[in-house]
Structure 1
Amino acid sequence: MNRLTAFFIATFMAFGTGLAHARDLNADEARKLRDAGTILSFEKLNAAALAEHPGATLTETELEEEYGKYIYQVDLRDMEGIEWDLEFNATNGTVLKNHQDR
């Protein structure tokens, strides 16, 4: 095997490994985590997102597990029509990302 082929195989494997560490959680999994007190309720997380952009509208939400951490992703559209991507630590509500969608 030549070096270029080995490089592409190693790069592909590293990329694939990164993808394997993030997964979407379904509603039943999320409910169990909330009921166990592992994550905050979606109502609290949605309120935190809307507090970052008062008057905005939620357009999409998603709960993921990444590297053993629960991340709540929220898409918002503000009153001017600007879309925002936010991420929260679902266990404590800390804002991890808050930027304008481009």
Structure 2
Amino acid sequence: MKKETCIIAKRLWSLLLFCMLTLQITAQQTGTITGVITDTSGEPVIGASVLVNGTSNGTISDLNGAFTLTHVPNNGTITVSYIGYISQTISVNGKK
């Protein structure tokens, strides 16, 4: 019986450790980034691609050049690109 109790205790500790690691991973600071993409004359760029670097998380700008991108790491970077324009990589650094 003592051996079974020891095995159960080890499994409970393993489960607790797993839960703590999972919480730490999901607690990484992420946020939502919103913005408006415009050209040099201030006109909205429709359909520009906005992508979180190193992921497949992305979106495109709407008819007003606006976009919303969720689950962006606070210390991550995003790249904005559009055909015929030079792509820009922007550091998030906690910006919204």
- How does the TM-score come out when normalised to structure 2? 0.37
Greater relative contact order: 1 or 2 (C-alpha under 8 angstroms, separation 6 or more)? Answer: 2
Larger Rg: 2
